[in-house]
Amino acid sequence: MCRNLTRWLSATILATGLSHLAAQAQDVQALRARLGQLREYSYLAPKATLAELQKMKPQVAKWPQSEQARYFSLVSNAARETDAKLALAAAAEEERIGRELGDDAIVASSLVDRVYVHSSMDEMGEVSKNVALAHELAGKTSDPAILVKTTITMGQDEIRRGNGRKGLDYINQAVAQANSSGQPSLQFMALRAKAYALGGLAGGGPEALKAIDELKAKAGAIPFEGAVTRARLAEYQIADDAGQLARAREALAEVVLWLQKRRMEELVPDLQVTLADLSLRTQDYREALRLSRESKAAARAIEDTQSAEISQFNEGIALIYLGQLDEGRAAIEAANEEFIDAEALFEYARALEYVGQSEFAVKVYARATRKAAAANAAKARQQKENHEKEELLRREEENLKESRNQTRLERAWSVAAALAVLGLAGLAFMFRKLRAANARLEKSRS
In angstroms, the CA 282 to CA 279 distance is 5
User: Cα–Cα distances in Å, from 372 out to 340, 375, 378?
Assistant: 11, 5, 10
pLDDT tens track for 236-293? 999 999 999 999 999 999 999 999 999 998 999 999 999 999 999 999 999 999 999 9
In angstroms, the CA 192 to CA 208 distance is 9
401 CB contacts (<8 Å, ≥6 apart)? Answer: none
Q: What is the pTM of this model?
A: 0.77
> In the chain, pLDDT over 90 holds for what percent of residues?
66
Contact at 8 Å (CB) between 119 and 128? no
pLDDT tens track for 151-205? 999 999 999 989 999 999 999 999 999 999 999 999 999 999 999 999 998 889 9
pLDDT at 423: 52
In angstroms, the CA 103 to CA 111 distance is 13
User: Is the predicted pLDDT of residue 437 greater than 60, yes or no?
Assistant: no
User: Is the predicted pLDDT of residue 5 greater than 50, yes or no?
Assistant: no
User: 238: closest CA among 219, 215, 256, 271?
Assistant: 215
pLDDT tens track for 25-66? 568 899 999 999 999 999 999 999 999 999 999 999 999 999
What angle (nearest 5°) sits at the alpha carbon of residue 277, between those of residues 274 and 279?
115
pLDDT at 38: 96
User: 105: closest CA among 76, 129, 70?
Assistant: 70
Contact at 8 Å (CB) between 71 and 63? yes
Give the number of other Cβ atoms within 10 Å of residue 445's Cβ: 6
User: Cα–Cα distances in Å, from 17 out to 11, 22, 324?
Assistant: 10, 9, 76
User: Is the predicted pLDDT of residue 421 greater than 80, yes or no?
Assistant: no
Domain boundary assignment for the chain: 56-141, 265-333, 341-383
User: Is the predicted pLDDT of residue 400 greater than 70, yes or no?
Assistant: no
CATH of domain 265-333: 1.25.40
The number of residues in the chain equals 446
